[in-house]
Structures are given as C-alpha cells and as structure tokens.
Structure 1
Amino acid sequence: MIILEKKVIKLFDINFDNLTMTEAINRIEDIIIVNKTNKQSSYVVTPNVDHIVNTFKDRKFKEIYDNANLVLVDGMPIVKVSKILGKDLKEKVSGSDLTPELFKLAQKNQYRVFIFGSKEGVADKAIQKIKKEYGYDFPIEGYSPPFGFEQNPVVLNDSIQKIVNYKPDILLVSLGSPKGEMFIYNHLNTLKVPISLQIGASIDFIAGTVKRAPIWMQKASLEWFYRFSQEPKRMFKRYFVNDSLFLKIVVDEYRLKKRGS
C-alpha cells in the first residue's frame, strides 16, 4: 500500500486533489484497501467545466463535491486556467482516462467491478471487449436500469439490491451528471462499496457506441467541441448556455487572486 501525502489546491471553491493519473490510481488503491478492511464507503468526483458551473447553481451538487473523498480534475480548460491563476494542477485525470486504469487495477488485485447505467447492452459490449482485447478475468458485471428508475421506489430498491448482492469493490456509475453523483451520494451507506464514481460516457467509449475525440483535440481543450459535433441538439444547452457561466467564475477567481496578492 502506497500512502500519498494529500496535496489539495482550492480553485473555484473546490478542493482539487493535485495528482497525476498514476498517483490517483495509487490513492484509489489505498482507499479500497482501507475501506475493505473497515467496511467503509468512499466516492470520487471528476469535475469538468459543466460540473463546476453546477456547483454554483445547485446547493446539493456542491454538497456532494464538498464531501467527496477524492476530487480529480476532468478537463484541460480547468488545468490551463489553474496555471494562469498560479494554482498549478498537475494534469487532467478524466473519468474516461481513469476507467481503463481502474480495469488494470481490478485485474491486478482481482477486484470485483460493477457497471451501473449506460444504455441497454452497452456495459455488456464493454465487458466483452476488455476481456477479449486484454484478457482480463477479474469479476465484472453490469446492469442498465430503466429510464426514470430513481422515481420508482420499487425499481430503485431493486437496482440498489443488485449492486449490494454483487458486493463490488469498485462501482462505476454511468447515469450522466448530476444524476450519477446524486445516486452515489444518496445511497452511499446502503451500497457499501469501497469506492464509487460517476464515469460519464467512459463505458460508451470502451464499447465503441460513442466515439471519443482524437488525442490532439483532447490536448487542445477541444474535446467538448467534438462531443458537441456528435450530438449538437443534446449538447447545445450544456456547452453554450450553462457553461458560459464558467467565464464569469474564472473572472471572479482572478479578481479574488488579485485582492489577495
């Protein structure tokens, strides 16, 4: 077990854990080991621009972020802004990049993994793909609940029970944000999973049902534009209405820095 010193950078009123991908995986492994021993539960959040905006608009979402055990930056725009503001975040550790590394960790330690969410059949495609391409044999299952399951107490309880009965070490939730984070936070003590995280479209990327932006676009902070070009109707409000507030948040952060200098 590798115990890492906790290095936190406060930016946009969020306490980011300033870790590289390797350090993040080591931290997650430590959390799993401790929580399996003590029968405790923890969760990870991966804030991107949209999430940061929502922490300013939604008090419950901010509460979820404030209580997260690990906060990893998901988005090159945030990394670049952090450097301009003199609060240098090491690197982007997105859910999409983190998920394959978690599978490597699960294979190494034979952790039990449960994928909750995505469209019907997507998790199965992803599972078949990682087994075929990488020869992984760690225990892994998936379940896609029906749309609106969280509003039906019977279906919600049945969905939770599927996870509880499987007893995963890692829970990967693919319900979209903020629904995924809300699900984990609201049922953390019932689920009793050592580590849980909302992973966005990561499972779709692995399954091949959704294409991810080319590496050059990811590095150029244009991954959001690639997603928009794929689903313009669904993504327009998120990127051009909701996320426009991020500019104001950045300006306010800059003014706060100037007053403190």
Structure 2
Amino acid sequence: MCMPTPRDVLALIERIRCISCEDERHALIKTLSAVERPTILSFLNAHGVNLCAGSSAAWSAFRASDVLLRDGVALETALPWLDQPVGLNMNGTDFIPLLLRHLSPRRVAVYGTAAPWLDEGIERLKERTPHDYVDAQHGFHSVEHYIARAREIEPDVIILAMGMPRQEEVAVQLKRALDHKVLIVNGGAIIDFLAGRFTRAPAAVQRIGLEWAFRLVQEPRRLFRRYCVGAFGFAHTVMLMRRAAMRSSSAPAPAPMHKEL
C-alpha cells in the first residue's frame, strides 16, 4: 500500500468535526447517544498526524472514524495555516468523561491498558457515571479476542485504551465485525489518567496550552520522542499540507463541456 501523500493527510484533517461552542458540544453528545450502527469516535492530535503521515495503516484507520475531533494545541496552531476552523479543544481526556456522564445508563466494555490501572480506572468510572461496566480486557490480546468478547456481550459502548495507532486499527476491525448498535471510543490514556497512573496538568497549565510540557517533565523517556522530535516532523507535515492546499486552490478549473450541436 502506498504511503499517504500530504493531500491525503490534509483530507483527513478536513474531516475533523469543528465544535465551536457548548451548544454544539451537547448536540454532539446527543448524536453519539443515538447511534444506529457500529460508530467510531476518534481524536486527532499532532502525534496522530505524524503517524498518519508515515503509515498507510494508521491513516486508513483514522479515516474510518465516523466522528473525528481535534485534540491539542499543536493542531490549534496549525489549522489556520490550512484554512481550517479551529473550534474548541475536544481532547478525549476531558470529553470522554463528559460524554459518559451525560449518556443514559449503558452497558460499557473497556479494552486496554493493564492491571492494576484497568480495574482502578473502571472503579473511578463507576463512581462518576451511571453505567454498568460489563467487560474489562487488558490491551494486549489479539483483535480476534476483542471481537469475540464484543459479539458475546454486545456492549452499548466500547472504550479502547490502547494508544495510537493500535486502538484505531482495533476499532476498525470491531466496526466491521459487529452488527449491533455500539459506540466505539478511541480513548488513549483515559483509563490511566482516571486510575492515577498519569497526572493531569493543573488547570492553569492546561489553559495556557502547556499540558504537553507538564507531561514531558513527568515522563521524559517515553514522551521525548513524541513531543520534541515529533514537533519537527509535525511542522514539516503541516508545511507540506499547506503547499498541497495552495496547489489545489490555485489549480485552474476544468474547461466547460461543449454542448452537442
């Protein structure tokens, strides 16, 4: 399979659903509460853009998302350069708990992370949300295992907490294999945050867009490549996407078809 072009990655970014106010956020929650088929909710950040630029499998998995939301300040900075609306920062760490609090009682499965964080994260969710958590599986099984569990239990919501791009790839396989109404949420480190494995930045740090720096200080070995080295790759990809967008906008319109005499 060919590597994604800058135009391909730009097309993915153009699919981001821009949420610009609280009314739109609550309208999205209402939509997600009434899915009629297997539906994937994903979050795209700078790391995800880098993965998509370098992997056709990652790009295809993100492209299969039914709802794609912007996550993080890097994309907030880049989107105006690409003539795309910015909207609110819809990061999953904040939006997923909000979504779960507003959904009516559902049967929820959580697939991802590892012990003891998986059980502890689910306990926090039980305390804060009205749902029945019917299945919990660590994030190192085969995709066939998750499909078998989901077919057997038929949860209303599946939260995948495996990290990018594996969770997005598993989500696609679940979507293809399941035939009941289910919302599949690509949650990243949400369960680890809820369990206290990772600490959120203070609210003031989040407001000024430096949560990434706070996390880097906490986990320098794991996140240095993603945040520091990855920043250069992201900037390069944005430049290539901007060039692709400018070429598309300056391309001459096709000549009109002549009518037959």
- Unmatched tracts of structure 1, length 5 or more: 1-9, 151-155
Partner Cα distance (2:63, 2:220) in 1: 32
The answer to whether residue 138 in structure 2 is matched with residue 145 in structure 1 is yes
The aligned counterpart of 2:190 is: 202
What TM-score, normalized by structure 2, do the two folds share?
0.80
Partner Cα distance (1:63, 1:146) in 2: 21
Q: How does 1:84-123 map to 2 (within 5 A)?
A: 84-106=81-103, 109-123=104-118
Query: Aligned-pair distance for 1:184?
Result: 0.9
Aligned-pair identity in percent equals 23
The aligned counterpart of 1:12 is: 10
CA contact (8 A) 1:16 1:72 kept: yes
Partner Cα distance (2:168, 2:83) in 1: 29
Q: How does 1:136-215 map to 2 (within 5 A)?
A: 136-145=129-138, 147=140, 149-150=141-142, 156-192=143-179, 194-215=182-203
Query: Aligned-pair distance for 1:73?
Result: 0.3
The aligned counterpart of 1:67 is: 64
CA 1:184–1:78 in 2, change beyond 3 Å: closer, same or farther? same
Determine helix, strand or coil for the equivalent of 1:143.
strand
Deviations 1:75-104 (A, max 9, x none): 122113223544222111011111111221
Query: Aligned-pair distance for 1:249?
Result: 1.7
Query: Aligned-pair distance for 1:222?
Result: 2.0
Partner Cα distance (1:196, 1:244) in 2: 32
CA contact (8 A) 1:31 1:194 kept: no
Determine helix, strand or coil for the equivalent of 1:116.
strand
Deviations 1:134-175 (A, max 9, x none): 4x432124423363x22xxxxx53443223322211111001
Determine helix, strand or coil for the equivalent of 1:244.
helix
Query: Aligned-pair distance for 1:181?
Result: 0.6
The answer to whether residue 42 in structure 2 is matched with residue 53 in structure 1 is no
The aligned counterpart of 1:5 is: none
CA 1:127–1:187 in 2, change beyond 3 Å: closer, same or farther? closer
CA contact (8 A) 2:82 2:245 kept: yes
CA 1:129–1:114 in 2, change beyond 3 Å: closer, same or farther? same
Say what the alpha-carbon RMSD is for the aligned residues. 2.5
Query: Aligned-pair distance for 1:208?
Result: 1.6
Query: Aligned-pair distance for 1:242?
Result: 3.6
Partner Cα distance (1:22, 1:127) in 2: 29
Which residue identity lines up with residue 206 of structure 1 in the other structure?
L
- Unmatched tracts of structure 2, length 5 or more: 1-7, 251-261
Partner Cα distance (2:38, 2:184) in 1: 8
Which residue identity lines up with residue 19 of structure 2 in the other structure?
L
Which residue identity lines up with residue 42 of structure 2 in the other structure?
V
CA 1:158–1:245 in 2, change beyond 3 Å: closer, same or farther? closer
Deviations 1:171-229 (A, max 9, x none): 11001111111111123222445211211111111122210122233233322222222
Partner Cα distance (1:59, 1:247) in 2: 19
Which residue identity lines up with residue 18 of structure 1 in the other structure?
C
The answer to whether residue 216 in structure 2 is matched with residue 228 in structure 1 is yes
Aligned pair count reads: 238
Partner Cα distance (2:47, 2:18) in 1: 19
